[in-house]
């Protein structure tokens, strides 16, 4: 994994929905994002060290709204975040079988 990637999470999608993010600036309309919650099986940080799954329970990951029609509840996926402590999705794909 390259140094600009964050956490690597494998789990089953518990919920996926469109969510409106309000702007902090007057006159800027809200934007839609995909909000994804996982039942996490495995998590590693950017250097490959295992993370304690219990510390990640209840976190929501955010990505572009186009993810909502592409993925569904019950699907097993692998998410890589943009930063080691961030919840923004850099990539998402069906999880490998291992």
Whether pLDDT at 44 is above 50: yes
Mean pLDDT of 67-77: 96
CA torsion, ordered 62, 63, 67, 73, to nearest 10 deg: -20
8 A C-beta contact, residue 75 and residue 40: no
pLDDT, residue 38, reads: 96
Mean pLDDT of 29-48: 93
Whether pLDDT at 1 is above 50: no
pLDDT in tens, 3-36: 557 899 999 999 999 999 888 888 888 889 999 9
Q: What is the pTM of this model?
A: 0.85
Residue 67 dihedral angles phi and psi, to the nearest 5°: -70, -25
């Amino acid at each position: 994994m390259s140094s600009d990637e964050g956490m690597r999470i494998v789990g089953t999608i518990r919920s996926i929905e469109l969510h409106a993010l309000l702007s902090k600036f007057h006159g800027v309309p809200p934007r839609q994002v995909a909000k994804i919650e996982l039942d996490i099986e495995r998590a590693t940080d950017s250097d490959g060290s295992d993370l304690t799954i219990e510390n990640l329970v209840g976190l929501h990951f955010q990505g572009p709204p186009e993810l909502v029609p592409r993925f569904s509840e019950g699907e097993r996926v692998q998410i890589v975040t943009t930063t080691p402590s961030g919840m923004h999705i850099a990539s998402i794909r069906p999880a490998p079988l291992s």
